[in-house]
Amino acid sequence: MSVAAVHARNVSKQYPGSRGVQALSGVNADIPAGRFVSILGPSGCGKSTFLRCVAGLENITGGELDVNGKAVNGPPDGIGMVFQRDALLEWRSIRRNILLPVEFAKKSPSVYQDKVDHLLDLTGLRDFGNSYPRELSGGMRQRAAICRALVDDPSLLLMDEPFGALDAFTRDQMNVELQRIWMETRNTILFVTHGISEAVYLGDVVMVFSPRPGRLLETITIDLPRPRPLSIRETPEFGRYTAHIRGLFEEMGLIGDKGTV
């Protein structure tokens, strides 16, 4: 068996201080390369913390965490990251924003021009390479941020609620596009979200987290054919997955009809 893209054994994370919050507790995961993994949970469940630990932006305080077979100690090589707010640099054109990782890696941007063109085509931003981020809509900005994360062919793409700040329509559109992009690039993706439907629609696997302390409740394999059209969300198979997950959250007492109209 090949090396897992992400391997977590009993991972825990406690923030320092006397009242240090236990953000993660006993998380186990083995994510094979090339898989699209949705990380789902309500706010405060540690799903973003888990992602940030994988990115090497936070240190784990217990257990072991490997990315591409190496223990995480600072940001690993060959990862791309997309943030909730796109984190584009306002003073750079879209093209130069996308080339930032190339510059930081001390590689020649000229070699990557075709790659950037391809990514701009792939995300429908062909005519916006020379625009400033300010001239783009929220959805387009986030697409540019995805291009930036993909430009140096990362083996692992980490996405921290990337569509959380977008309106519902744009969000649906971005889900379709992300699936299309991923089916072409086939990187391993860890996609953090609090949308049940979004998690099931995109994921090969959904890791469901529960809050305080952040624990991995269940890992669910989503066995739906790809490419998945948006209308798949109306099928009974899709409904069974979302109903099951909603049931998990109800058991935790996080959502329910009791006491509400």
Helix (H), strand (E) counts: the chain = 8, 10
Neighbours of 61 (CB within 10 A): 16
**In whole angstroms, how close is the CB of 24 to another protein at the nearest point?**
18
Alpha-carbon distance 209 to 37, whole Å?
13
Joined together, the tokens standing for residue 234 give: 């109306």
Rank residues 26 and 75 by Cβ distance to another protein and give the closer one: 75
Alpha-carbon distance 183 to 36, whole Å?
10
46 contacts 217 by C-beta, under 8 angstroms: no
Rank residues 85 and 244 by Cβ distance to another protein and give the closer one: 85
**In whole angstroms, how close is the CB of 87 to another protein at the nearest point?**
4
**What residue ranges bind another protein (CB under 8 A)?**
52, 55-57, 74-75, 77, 79-81, 83-85, 87, 89-91, 100-101, 103-105, 132-135
**In whole angstroms, how close is the CB of 93 to another protein at the nearest point?**
9
Phi and psi at residue 245, in whole multiples of 5°?
-65, -40
Rank residues 160 and 204 by Cβ distance to another protein and give the closer one: 160
**In whole angstroms, how close is the CB of 29 to another protein at the nearest point?**
20
Q: Which residues, other chains included, contact 29 with Cβ-Cβ below 8 Å and sequence gap of 6+? A: 6, 7, 8, 207, 216, 219
Rank residues 132 and 180 by Cβ distance to another protein and give the closer one: 132
Rank residues 60 and 216 by Cβ distance to another protein and give the closer one: 60
Alpha-carbon distance 161 to 104, whole Å?
25
**In whole angstroms, how close is the CB of 91 to another protein at the nearest point?**
5
